[in-house]
Structure 1
Amino acid sequence: MPVDLFEVEAAPRAARMLLLAACDGQQATIERADGSERALLRLQLPTRRDPRSYRDWTWVACSIKLPPTIPPGAVLHLPTLRIREGRVRADLAFSYPVAKAARTGHRVALGVDWGLNTLLSAGAARVHDDGRITTLGAGGMFRAAGVLAKQHRLRRESEYLHAKADHYQRLTSGDEKHALTAKCAVLAAEMRYVRDRRSNLNDALAWAAARWTVDQAIAASATVIYIEDLRSMEARGMGRSVNTRLSQQVRGKIVDRMQHLAAEVGIALVTVPARNTSKHCPQCLVPLRHRKAPDRPTASGWKWAICLSCRWQGDRDQGAWRRIAARGLTHQAKTVTDRTAGTMSIRTVVDKLEASAVITPKTSRNDRSKTGPTRRQATRPTPRRRRAPSPTGPQGLAGKRPEGHAHTDRPQLPRAVHRHQGATTTSRPAKRHQPRGTALGAGFHFHAHATPPRWGDPLPDPRSDMRSLS
């Protein structure tokens, strides 16, 4: 037998990487070079396989190209060197200062509501000096129907595999020599494969939803994100299939990723109680009537909300994020911070503050109320087309005065030009349509009128500072 214990064991296997984070400044240093595009890494490496003294070591300088994702003012840390495809790769870590998220004093907030078909519905709101709260734009939705459908398919497959494995387990009764033992091992491997696929899909969905939410807050210049508290949400009253879909959501992961990404840009993430956010009107706090769709006002449902008091109507989730943002802005003085986890939340709703958590509607741009004297109009309107023909001139377009819509070089003018060209005539189509007022000339755009639906929301105000990165 060997005399040494290490002679019995084989040579230890180690990864082909070099962790420089464990080195001190006497063995490795890194600093920026050539502005902010490159970094210079200096290492003290041995010149022989068995270094015996300090003379067997020498300094080696390595130039690292920095990616554009590293900010110019970031502090670089010692990387981890790896060998991949014959080249040395560096896993570079960096840090930069971020302003601490404020607990109160917010003027613009992003309200986020959870949904079933639309995973997230979000929009920005602003509180003015006089206490009024208005929305910035019409908001947006994060739809992940394709990812959720794949997730539900994997869930059903996982349930089927578990049921089959339990049945085989009962048949074998722990006998290792049973004929179904090999099939049980195959089922176990397949269940691990499906579980890993579901986990990777949930992680990708969580990062995508969190990134979208934080981007919306950055675009709206919001300093806080108010989101529903998951602990106050219950999946009940919608049937077994809907409750299963709600319980399988990755909402907890989305909140964790959202908190991480919001902290990188100094935006606070505050949870708000979800009670009555979808039940009450965002403009008058009156209970809403829920219907299936806007064109089916008599069919009971849960997707479309109608207020009989102020005549507001819209998507249920669109009204919910307005309520969440207004509730967060009015209750921001009640925000508390958890000392252990560092999360912020509004735990209780005060009735006095809730009464002022209403959205002030904006006046429509289509308001045609008379605010001054009518502008004087000419007694004889200007004709649509020039009556004088184009002058004769050289061939080509140079030096030729334009004549209007129709060209004189055509042998016959279009049919629409011959109809109703007088200055005092009215275009009257042969069918039932009767134009409103006097319209000169012929043309589809003069007599086509589209009436907006009664449930249509007003167009967003382009003068607002609501922007989107999508």
Structure 2
Amino acid sequence: MDEKTGELLLTATLAERVGRCVDLVSGMADSLLAAHWNAIDVDVLASGEDAMGRKLPSNAWMALRRLGWTVGPAEGIRVNDRIVRTAQETAGRTARSAKWRADLTAAVVATWPADPSKRTTAEWEAVRAAAPGGEYLPSSVIKGRTRQVAVFVREHGRLPVDVFEAEAAPRPARMLLLSACDGQQATIERHDDDPGRILLRLQLPTQSDPRSYKDWTWVSCPISLPPTIPASAVLHLPNLRIRRGRVRADLAYTHAVPKTARTGHTVALGVDWGLTTLLSAGAARLHEDGTITALGARGMFRAAGVLAKQHRLRRLGERLDAKADRYERLTGEAEQHPLNRKQAVLADEIQAVSDRRSNLNDALAWAGARWAVDQAVTAGASVIYLEDLRSMEARGMGRTMNTRLSQVVRGQITDRVRHLAAEAGIAVVTVPARNTSKHCPQCLTPLRHRKAPDRPTVPGWKWALWPRLQVARRPRYRGVETHRRTRPHPPGQDRDDPRQRHHGDSLRDRCARSRGSHLTDCRQDQPEGPVQDRTHPATHLTPRAQATQGTLPHQTPRSGGQASGGTRSHGPEAAAPRSQPAPGRDDDRPTHHRSPTTRNSTGRRLPPARPRHPSTVGNSPAGQ
């Protein structure tokens, strides 16, 4: 509502007036960045000290005024000093963030490799030593800066002096930072009776080029708070931005939360990533004697349906982009071309698909983060260990799989987990991804990842082979292993009969005893009774696709051979019959009697048959 005239403003009218103020602020911020986009000014601002050695204020607008970076509106435009503060705050934050990019670009230029597309080990060590925090810097960030410098080299035939020569002055975000203002420009207060409602008051221009202070009036904007904001939280002035013709307020608030502990954790939750099973989690307890035991069953956050919809939207967006590029080539620069109207409609459709993908990714990130934190709260964990895959480069797994992996919102989920865990007083530790899948999580045996169990020399990622224990299995849950055994059973023994298992043996004793046998597994069996602390998985989380040596057609096992878990069949013959499940194991259905599905199917079944040369299928001449 306009307090001067008492007129109720429509949503479009309010968005228009906020947009006018944002235009004024963006214009001043652009001119300020263009005037000081150089290495000397950015270094002085990032150093935190002025020319006299005094410490610069933390607020960006105050630091710029201390350094003498002044700015003003265009001639004839009248704005108050608080609007100038907002422009200086926007430009100062952008200039401060450029310091890290400048140091990284300088490190890449100083250690420029002989072949930019492939660094050697010595060149990687050199660039990490020169870059700020290079020891923990993801390789993808360094590669991105290297590609940027390589483009400059191709265009100019030389290396850039610094990032300010390689990049133009950035355009600040079209946003109104009210945090740089005081009560003379904007105020915020809660409703007296309803703490879920607040009133935001701010001055907005009535026209795009205000000539006097009379062209600025106070506008009252009631806002409804989401239920996630506590009633006792201290509210701060929000940031206003325009989103699809509506005004969005990014509201910050402060409230007390439990303090997280850096050390002394006894119960922890480990979270690992997947594709169809987006997140897998399992809790563990550290005892006084140094023994680590698993707590009950593991959990999985499966988002196959959401991810499938995400991939459909991605493919739709790619087709629309290709169509738009085709229209642009056909129309050229003609203003009266018949395809201009279709091109405009297509642009709106592309924007709508992009918005749907953004909303879906945001909802998926919040849902996954909430699930992980809830698992930690339920297990009584005080720390969450999360594999750091925010900058993973998907490669080597085929075009389709690489694209699907690169579209997963791992960075957003990690940020949401940190935010929600802080409210619960739970610490979050990111674990480097290197060598996290190198060893078996239960017996610490080094694994060899291969494309298929009957192709032990072809590198891959779907199958894990135990070189010494002669076991092959498909790691479904990655970091949280909950797998069934994949070994042949002696005649007359039921693989699902709990009476014919080795109870009471430790994991080390079982692995040691099994080294002398033909095949083995590296897990302990499920005991009967209530769920307690134990070092083995729950039985209801067992992989469905299982195949053991002797159950696959056209294969004759030989002494010392490897067991094939889920190996493709090479003929129409049915697999060997499987014993009936024991009582209480009805959910563990036989899988070898199912018809093979297609590769694009989402079901966890055996892959379809694929023709091969006879010499690569069997393990002996009899199997050919």
Query: 1:185 and 1:317, CA in 2 relative to 1: closer, same or farther beyond 3 A?
Result: same
Aligned counterparts of 1:159 and 1:40: Cα–Cα separation in 2: 42
Between the aligned partners of 1:271 and 1:78, the Cα distance in structure 2 is 30
Q: CA deviation at 1:104?
A: 2.3
2:539 maps to 1:365: no
The alignment partner of 1:213 has SS state of helix
The 5 A counterparts of 1:68-467 are: 74-75=232-233, 95-230=254-389, 233-288=392-447, 302-303=461-462, 305=464, 307=466, 316-321=475-480, 365=527
- Distance of 1:281 and 1:194 partners within structure 2: 42
Q: Partner of 1:154: helix, strand, or coil?
A: helix
User: How many aligned positions are there?
Assistant: 292
**Counterparts of 1:76 and 1:141 in 2: how far apart (Å)?**
36
Instruction: Give the TM-score normalised by structure 1.
Output: 0.51
Q: 1:70 to 1:232 in 2, by over 3 A?
A: closer
CA distance in 1, matches of 2:254, 2:407: 35
**Gap regions ≥5 residues in structure 1:** 1-11, 43-64, 81-90, 324-359, 368-446, 457-470
- Do the aligned partners of residues 311 and 183 (structure 1) sit closer, same or farther apart at CA in structure 2, a change above 3 Å counting? same
Partners in 1 of 2:385 and 2:189 — Cα distance?
A: 43
Letter of the structure 1 residue corresponding to residue 293 of structure 2: T
CA deviations 1:206-235 (Å, max 9, x no partner) are: 110110011001111111111111257331
Q: Provide the C-alpha distance between the structure 1 equivalents of 2:338 and 2:404, rounded to a whole number of angstroms.
A: 37
Larger Rg: 1
Contact kept in structure 2, 1:232 and 1:275, CA below 8 Å = no
Would you identify which runs of 4 or more consecutive aligned residues in structure 1 move more than 6 Å? 21-24, 27-33, 37-42, 65-68, 91-94, 310-315, 360-363
CA contact (8 A) 1:134 1:361 kept: no
Q: Is the 8 A contact 2:390 2:411 kept in 1?
A: no
Query: By percentage of residues, which structure has more strand?
Result: 1
CA contact (8 A) 2:274 2:478 kept: no
In structure 1, what is the Cα distance between the partners aligned to 2:310 and 2:188?
Answer: 46
Amino acid at match of 1:278: S
The alpha-carbon deviation at position 30 of structure 1 amounts to: 6.4
Aligned 8 A contact 1:283 1:310 in 2: no
Q: Percent identity?
A: 59
Structure 1 residue matching 2:330: 3-state secondary structure: helix
TM-score by length of 2: 0.39
| 1:284–1:310 CA contact under 8 A, matched in 2 | no
- 1:40, 1:254 → 2: CA distance? 29
Cα RMSD for the two superposed structures: 4.9
Q: What is the deviation of 1:201?
A: 0.7
Q: What is the rounded CA distance, in whole Å, between the counterparts of 1:236 and 1:313 in structure 2?
A: 24
Q: Is the 8 A contact 1:228 1:274 kept in 2?
A: yes
